[in-house]
Structure 1
């Protein structure tokens, strides 16, 4: 059987139910793969592998609009030696993009339940993948983490994927329990989607699921000279009863051009179509209580900062006022308040609304503190293991926590009642919903036919229904795929903190290499590596900006955090005590407003484990310019170089540049790159780059806005005269730089 379009040729072996996918765009680019199902019945493991399969029936389907693309499809029925199991595979080629799609369906025709562990639409063995003609391939693997806080990055041959030293404390929060974590080199895993790259030929293989409604998807690769790649849907030991069937989410494969500055955009757009995502909200901008007050907060603290927000609104407009944790007695008891909030949080929402601010509230509807009254009052709502023991949701609030079993109708009703009350009775218009992974822990669910992905997805759908379509919702601590199409914004990285590395006395030294724990370093990692998701799947939430001088962050580290948050375009929430913030630190936040809200190009995303190069193409009345940033991730001062080649700029022109944090101005060309000497550890240099045209006046930038151009509302050049207008939507003062070709 053969299918093809202008991009791909797909051939099936009817005898063995294996397939070969070849690129028509890239020479010597192909893969050979098979399918696999792992399940068991009556206590005996049963592994259905390609050796047992052949194609017994092929049904051609006309081109069908699947919502995410028009597919020319075939339905394959596989013959196995297990007569009580029917396996069907739908295969399709998208007509406008070079993407192949696969979906497995399993039907139980027997008289006994079947318990499903893995459904595998992709199994590429070593020697069965070619990405071009390179004799010495430079292979990397872009690994996407499971949930908001899980590290995402690109690994090289010789690297080792990080495993935590504090597994019992952290594993439930960070890792999909069915995605393997390997300690040996060259062996990597990821969640939902990944990209296997050959960087000499600049060819990649993207593999991923376009949704996570049915199962959590996992990937695993070995980066040998002949790499392997396996991708599967986690069955979670869910029970498939006689007469019932289960389908995987659609899986897709695509060979991509790594010279394209957005090589995974077709996949991201396919996911958008599959979920009918419309990222129409304005980027949230405001103030958050958490990183100054943490849980030691009172109503008076919120009111003092509300007053400061109003005082500062002309200079630093922060329209969102978000109350974070600390108002409730214990997570789980959401209608009981601590003495610092004697009237609850409703009066604060009312005050914020009357002041024309957006009232926001943090909630964690699926996780439960062990001291919460809910534990004693409704023990049947809590998730347990097969022995009846409460399942740990990880170490939070200095204790091991529990989780609601959302397949218990009353537990889900309670979570929805909390959301409904916060919106419709208390008056909050913005909800930050945290620790959402707790609905997808491994355990013995009351409904054993549901996968963890199904439980979480249905729970999140219920929360959205309870909140209403007009409430702005941010997901945090959430498996990414589960929230698609339901949430307006998504936390995409670890919590920030006032320390560069994880800091938890007295064990801080043991935790410096922990990559998922709160710290500025860890927050910055995913701000960069998940930048492509912004304005595709949602508004990226990079966590808060801290600018106050009394943290352990250096000024250079604060500038790096501000630069990364601003250039990647996501939410901007300041989390300092505004009444006590010095003017020079307030200005760091001020120059980020209005937010840039563009999709940044991370130039070394698929080459570096922690990228260091950002490029934005910007244009307004002042003309076209590039905004470029280079970070020094070393623990000591280092020289940073800018050159047109590093950022894939046109090589012929000579460029003006202006560096924002220092104000340095100069020229750059292919033969004369810029070198900034002794940039502090963890520091950054960010430059606006404009083409040098000796006969034309040129706007070079300012210290008014980090973009060094957004501040220009009008720019007109006539004979020996320039007319310009500064407009940043706030009061501002500063210096602008202009090149004049005219003699005085």
Structure 2
């Protein structure tokens, strides 16, 4: 049987958008052909045979209609996550990854040097992730390169744990290179093409890589033994599982009654059974079959030190390509897993990067607004310390994803909007993106953001550290530069003094500000702002002080401090935040 067809016919009244999706990922990949007002959904059966009287049940089908296509995406992801028992971690992990500076050429000394650098800078990163390059060949995971990792991977994991971090390991578990010992010993373990030849999954730095047959009992037992060693004996606590699509490629398998999606899922089930509750990060994967088995998922191609790819391919490594997926797949976050937007690269152009300042800030902005994993891909021994402020400003992750309001209007969405709701207030942080190559004037209608027309809102430009004043119907960026994300705060304005914003995090108070307590006495007002954030970082708190109010006194951690006049009606206090700080300000008329 090659496919199962499901037909749905009828009128969809008062709805411009229709979403039709398979709401499980257990069975073969499904596609949908749409011809409104009728729909035909196809569930591929991958040639599974049925004996007389046998049945093969298709995936459940969800058909929904709504005026708001973003609501449909949310509904689809919510249904899929619930049916597949999605694993959503309580908070996304943070860490450092070796790939995006060394590209496989790092040694154990480089890993340890970066761990020392992270500790020296007091960066709140949790995982030290050793990416590709430690193995002698794809598939030969237990024989690390003796020249680069002479002490072995178990020893290195011990050093990482002793430093107070979680050791993480990259692996492509469903593949074996043509030159590997694994393939030499077990050529019958790989998927075959229609001519009976080993299927080529990809080329890894010029070497042919084959896909393992996950329906083969011997391959399944090998997976169990492999991850027992990596997890229990070596002690790694996070696994980045890459090139997972290899396990789902079409071809001849040991068990022809198992579909491609079922084979992939069986491989992941075995890994999950062995590692228990340790964090599994999927990468290069068909998304549906992984739900309920991985804790995090890379949702796009590799980021890179170049803005655009060297050839016109949306799957090629490039910052713009990666960010396109960060925005368009934001709705999957916290519904199917924790989204992994890939690494942030904040280093300068003289340190192995071609990203200009605006491109780097856009990368940081969209990763920060996405709410998912935050992994650094820089080299801490060589990075300019001043650049680390950009990394600090997205740590820790906020946890909630922004919304691409114009996802169904623009090929590259330009409005990435994060509603921030705290006990002490609510505001919007809006990433206004210029994907183009020319400077332009950009105007955003506040009603488009869901704000009430005619009402006053404070506007603050985060990266330029510029108060834009009180706006009512729209906010304008007169010179919106190429590849720049203007990160704007919009907060309801009042005739009373207000806590306006914090520059310690891109959410501008959503993470680091723990409380804002106001009291009224003798006609004046007093505010106490409590901040908590791991590490050490310089930043500023801003307060709106409309006429006829003025600042009477200010304190930092109980000691008198002066304030800076930022703009008419706005004052600020800059300071180094080390773990915790209390800012107090008294206002009078």
TM-score (norm 1): 0.70
CA distance in 1, matches of 2:442, 2:203: 40
Residue 5 of structure 2 corresponds to: 120
CA distance in 1, matches of 2:273, 2:396: 32
CA distance in 2, matches of 1:367, 1:130: 45
CA displacement 1:413-436 (0-9 Å, x = unmatched): 212322221100100011101111
Residue 561 of structure 2 corresponds to: none
Asked if 2 retains the 8 angstrom alpha-carbon contact of 1:612 and 1:632, the reply is: yes
Deviation at 1:458, TM superposition (A): 1.3
Residue 651 of structure 1 corresponds to: 453
Query: Is 1:549 aligned to 2:358, yes or no?
Result: no
CA distance in 1, matches of 2:318, 2:11: 39
1:253 to 56, 59, 63: 63
Asked if 1 retains the 8 angstrom alpha-carbon contact of 2:89 and 2:338, the reply is: no
CA distance in 2, matches of 1:650, 1:567: 23
1:169-568 correspondence runs (5 A): 203-221=16-34, 229-258=39-68, 262-313=71-122, 316-338=123-145, 339-468=147-276, 470-503=277-310, 511=311, 513-550=312-349, 551-568=353-370
CA displacement 1:195-241 (0-9 Å, x = unmatched): xxxxxx6x32111111121221112336xxx5764321111122223
Deviation at 1:247, TM superposition (A): 1.1
Asked if 1 retains the 8 angstrom alpha-carbon contact of 2:302 and 2:322, the reply is: yes
1:684 to 485, 492, 499: 485
Question: Matched residue pairs, number?
Answer: 540
Asked if 1 retains the 8 angstrom alpha-carbon contact of 2:87 and 2:294, the reply is: no
Deviation at 1:617, TM superposition (A): 1.6
1:702-721 correspondence runs (5 A): 702-710=502-510, 711-717=512-518, 718=520, 719-721=524-526
Asked if 2 retains the 8 angstrom alpha-carbon contact of 1:634 and 1:681, the reply is: yes
Asked if 2 retains the 8 angstrom alpha-carbon contact of 1:620 and 1:712, the reply is: no
Deviation at 1:386, TM superposition (A): 2.5
Deviation at 1:645, TM superposition (A): 2.0
Q: Secondary structure at the match of 1:690?
A: strand
Query: Is 1:578 aligned to 2:380, yes or no?
Result: yes
Q: Secondary structure at the match of 1:733?
A: strand
Deviation at 1:330, TM superposition (A): 0.7
Deviation at 1:709, TM superposition (A): 1.4
Residue 574 of structure 2 corresponds to: none
1:572-611 correspondence runs (5 A): 572-611=374-413
CA distance in 2, matches of 1:276, 1:605: 27
Q: Secondary structure at the match of 1:269?
A: helix
CA distance in 1, matches of 2:475, 2:452: 16
Deviation at 1:268, TM superposition (A): 2.1
Task: Give unpaired runs (5+ residues) of structure 1.
Answer: 1-115, 133-200, 504-510
Q: Secondary structure at the match of 2:179?
A: coil
CA distance in 2, matches of 1:610, 1:231: 28
Q: Secondary structure at the match of 1:401?
A: strand
Asked if 1 retains the 8 angstrom alpha-carbon contact of 2:7 and 2:38, the reply is: no
Q: Secondary structure at the match of 1:732?
A: strand
CA distance in 1, matches of 2:502, 2:214: 53
Asked if 2 retains the 8 angstrom alpha-carbon contact of 1:240 and 1:449, the reply is: no
Deviation at 1:579, TM superposition (A): 1.4
Asked if 2 retains the 8 angstrom alpha-carbon contact of 1:643 and 1:669, the reply is: no
CA RMSD of aligned residues (A): 1.8
Task: Give unpaired runs (5+ residues) of structure 2.
Answer: 552-589
- Runs of 4+ more than 6 Å apart: none
CA distance in 1, matches of 2:536, 2:83: 43
CA distance in 2, matches of 1:598, 1:369: 39
Indicate how the Cα distance of structure 1 residues 449 and 278 shifts in structure 2: closer, same or farther if over 3 A, else same.
closer
CA displacement 1:298-324 (0-9 Å, x = unmatched): 1100010111122122xx211111110
Deviation at 1:278, TM superposition (A): 4.4
CA distance in 2, matches of 1:569, 1:736: 22
Deviation at 1:123, TM superposition (A): 5.6
CA distance in 1, matches of 2:52, 2:116: 63
CA displacement 1:473-505 (0-9 Å, x = unmatched): 1011111111111111011111101011123xx
Indicate how the Cα distance of structure 1 residues 414 and 590 shifts in structure 2: closer, same or farther if over 3 A, else same.
same
Which deviates further from its counterpart, 380-389 or 408-417? 408-417
CA distance in 1, matches of 2:133, 2:76: 40
CA distance in 2, matches of 1:398, 1:698: 60
Query: Is 1:724 aligned to 2:534, yes or no?
Result: no
